[in-house]
A and B are shown apart, each in its own frame.
Chain A
Amino acid sequence: MQPLIPLLTTILPALYALSVAAYGRAYADEASTGGRWGPVALRVAVLVHLLYLSARGVTEGHLPLASAYDFLSATALSLAAVYTYLELRQGVRTTGIFVLPLVFLMQVISSAYGNTVPASQPPLFPFWFELHTMTAVLGYGAFFVSAIYGVLFLLLYREIKANRLSFFFRRMPPLETLGRMNVSAASAGLVLLGLAILMGIGWARMANVALAKDPKTWLTVGAWLLLGFAVLAYHRLGWRGPRAVYASLAGFTTLLLSRVVTDLFVRSFHTWR
């Protein structure tokens, strides 16, 4: 498996670049409903990404989440996978260009600067703590996609309200669909992050770690509650439109803030080294 890793590290950004180019071309061509090469390239990229992370896992003896670059790569995979799921479910192919450049960028940085962890390094934490990290990363990816659709919703909402029926208006799916994509991605994120929080609490009890003193934990739980409220409001209170989107964006911003605060301003066991 080890000789395969440098090859996959190089191929992966190239495959995402190909996806970005194909989705970009499909978006620009008004006669197209989204093209077919973009989805093909993206699905291949997701499979190769899975293979890459598996190869890293087998070689290193633990899930490849040992550095911030690994975190970027896993988030990129999460974004790509959640986007692929939404595309399949909603049948919308013209929004890929707003998600995939981020995936590409994350993977380029990870491929260029990552892979510094020596092979066969012993695992630092038990497997299910790693699972906590992995589900959290997947959750972040889902919330990231949700936020992108939230922003797209707001842009289209403003265009329609102002009677600016531009190219963007013509290429976007219905406003209602964008709202649904925003909530669907947030729901997936909610489940994944919820699992991550539960596993984290379980691990902290066993390891005698004082979670109550960790600002990251509180910010994450706060973000989860905000996002939970946004999803609940959509399904139970019938919230539609900007109000529901602003609620989910507030949750995502809090989540992002928790990451930035943890990495830059405080010392916590959550800090990436």
Chain B
Amino acid sequence: MSTAAGTMAPELGFFCVGLNHETSPLEIRDALVLSDEEVGRAIRALRERAGASEALVISTCNRTEVYARGAELPNPPAFVAALLQEIKGLDLAGSGKSYLYTYREPESIRHLFRVACGLDSQILGEPQITGQVKDSLTLAGKLGGSGPVMERLLDAALRCAKRARTETGIGRGPVSSAYAAVNLATKVLGSLADKKVLLIGAGEMAGLAACHFMEAGIAQFMVANRSRERAEKLSATIAARVISLEAIPVALPGADIVVSATSAQEPVVREAMVRNAMKIRKNRPLLFLDLAVPRDVDPHVARLPNVFVHDLDALGQLVAQSLAQRRAEVPKVEAIIEAEMARFLRWHRSLAVKPTVTAFRSHFEEIAKEELDRHRGRFRPEDHAALEALVHGIVQKLLHRPTTRLSRADGEEGGIARVDAVRDLFGIDQEDRDADRDAR
């Protein structure tokens, strides 16, 4: 029950048990991805068997984490390991390795915020996790897992993620080669909306790059591949025109971006071919993104004016720069996390302050009422109203300053200690606990 300031505060009882890409291999993470129905089973078990008042499960390809509040568990990781075994049939305890981590308050809150901001992601600052956290909260809400405190906590985590994205550069720059290719194309050609892409090769890398170019607004694609069947499969997803490898010299003048990712051992694009294409396209800029190893584009092509050739090394350089920049932004995100954590905890502390204030006032008003009733007979009936007003006025004046100070206690240094002292001095612990329970 101890806070960072060392004073007494109402306990949130919030813990997190989970595993992620840092603590477990891919096969374990894959085996523990929970479906919506399985998340429902986990939440029910946490509420019914562990006594949690609120529960939430975040399950993605890189992490499975269980968050619970108010659970009465002597050993949370053992309970979660048993629960995952029950649901997925995977014995984590029996493997002899410790894949699970456990965070207790306040680290559990900090961890949730870090997850929402993408600081705990495999690709630092990736944005998908924020949406996944949001989806987890929606699911927990539907399944009856989340309550007012958990919802407030998740709201704070999502606000934190939004601030991190808008106030820092944690999400800036490309962090994959395919996305770096789009970034580079934008840097050379400006708006990509009216540009044409020629894909040489129809493998995974070419497909991934095509998806990123589609997201960037490109609508015109051509695919040249040795296997027509494979090219047609890719063209179905990006609405591309399929051509043969022999037709590349004819297609080249019409393209603005050429993405090449074949497994050919010899260059597919030669200097003479590009020189002719540049004449036809009146020297308009042409960008080659060579994602193949060995390279598909003859290195001499890069010497031609207005022709830009970038291979995996160049794209890797862009990715490395972005990651370095994102790492430099981590302290700024951590500062936002600390501020949002403090804000949330202040709100939570206020849950205890309000009932204390109410109980404190009631305590005095009851004494005044008792004393009035006891001595009422000694006064004339016509004076009772004036007497009541007098006593009420005295009580109000006596209580004004302590009530004001108490109401502000959640935002002040040592404020919670003051609340504890009032509880102790006036014997209102019992009322406070009842009211706190009601508020939760």
User: Which residues on A are within 8 Å of B, measured CB to CB?
Assistant: 30-31, 160-161, 163, 165, 169-170, 172-177, 180, 237-243
Contact = CB atoms under 8 A, between A and B. Distances in A.
Interface of B: 168-169, 172, 184, 186-190, 282-285, 302, 305-306, 308, 310, 313-314, 317-318, 321, 325, 329
B287 to A, nearest CB: 9
Given A31-B329, A161-B308, A241 B282 contact: no
Contacts of A242: 305-306
Contacts of B321: 165, 170
Contacts, number: 59
A160 B318 contact: no
Given A31-B329, A160-B187, A237-B282, A165 B306 contact: no
Given A176-B188, A241-B285, 7 more contacts: A160-B308, A172-B187, A173-B190, A174-B188, A176-B285, A240-B284, A240-B306
B186 A165 contact: no
B215 to A, nearest CB: 18
Nearest to B287: A160
A243 B306 CA distance: 9
26 contacts: A30-B325, A31-B169, A31-B172, A160-B187, A161-B302, A163-B310, A163-B313, A163-B317, A165-B321, A172-B187, A174-B187, A174-B188, A174-B190, A175-B190, A176-B188, A176-B189, A176-B190, A176-B285, A180-B190, A238-B284, A239-B282, A241-B285, A241-B306, A242-B305, A242-B306, A243-B305
A50 B104 CA distance: 64
A238 B188 CA distance: 16
Contacts of B306: 240-242
Given A165-B314, A240-B284, A241-B305, A177 B190 contact: yes
A240 B189 CA distance: 11
Q: B187, B284, B305, B306: which has the most chain A beta carbons within 10 Å? A: B187
A177 B186 CA distance: 10
B334 to A, nearest CB: 15
B64 to A, nearest CB: 33
B291 to A, nearest CB: 15
A58 B210 CA distance: 63
B283 A243 contact: yes
Contacts of B318: 165
Contacts of B325: 30
B317 A238 contact: no
